[in-house]
Amino acid sequence: MDDYMPPRYQLLGRIGEGVHGVVVKARDLQCDDRMVAIKKLSLRTKFGLVSLNTVREIRALQHCRCDNVLELLDMYPDLAGLSLVFEYMPHTLHSKLKDEENPLSRATVRRYTAMLLKGLAYLHGLRLMHRDIKPANLLIDRRDVLKIADFGLARIFTEPSQAQQQQPGHRSKVYSPQVATRWYRAPEILWGCQRYGPAIDLWAAGAVFAEMLRGVPLFAGATDIEQLALVVRTLGTPNAKDWPGVRSLPDYDKIRFPNSRGERWEDIFPSCTTRDEIGLVDGLVRYNPAKRLTADEALLQPYFSDAAASEN
């Protein structure tokens, strides 16, 4: 690792390492000694080419100004590539979920879910898909504010105009199905779909919300096939009436699952889960992307109403 950094930053040590770079903790000597996290990214892949993931992350972050999206504070070049400077976030939602001695309260789950959806509403308003929403990428600061982070898989999406949709043979933009972490991957992607939109982020948000309510992941498949099997067992076998075009997904006919009528959400969640909580899960974790709630629609659900919030 190249440890070069400008004099304003004092290196304190490594705090993480991911697919796309090493993260170190440092002190910003020019800003009241605040703690920052510096993500060191390589501009080149092992094949010698500039990493598109790196470029995408930088471009996405440069345009983000939202309380629930991690802000890019600074950047500087080094010998290995480029370093991105962020506010230091002491927790992730993943670490909070793993803290068995301090389980999330119902009020905290509501706040975190609202902040996640507000962040997604902002990103989708910029026509940006995150494509890797999961607890490990949801950071929490000292004021208990949740922020969406890690934009290495983010992509700008385009929605065809009404005139384009009416053109014979019109086909929407193609994206890679090799995105999102398996447990939070929408079913259309698991079945090989390459023409998807921001609804994949809402499926992931629904899975994260369900995990906060249950304390364990909603669908924890060890393989893509097992992941789909768990989804089918829970939601039931998809049909063309509720999800037109499902049978035309690239990998739909590659494996057959036993027919399933699905399970009731009331049987999946603890008995204390309210109707409003189940209603939000049902609005997000559903097969047809066109019928999933958008982030803005989800924020208007009864679960977030003043009356519901006052119950906690």
Residues that are catalytic: 132
31's tokens:
């800003």
CB-CB contact of 134 with 218 (8 Å): no
Angstrom distance (rounded) from CA 207 to CA 214? 10
Which tokens go with 72?
């890019």
Chain centroid offset of residue 32 CA = 32
Q: Please choose, from the candidates 60, 18, 296, 16, the residue with its C-alpha nearest in 3D space to the C-alpha of residue 181.
A: 18
Burial (0-12, 13-18, 19+ Cβ within 10 Å), 234: middle
Burial state string for 173-212 with b = 16 or more CB within 10 A and e = fewer than 16: eebebebbebbbbbbbbbbebeebbbbbbbbbbbbbbbbb
CB distance 149 to 168 below 8 Å: no
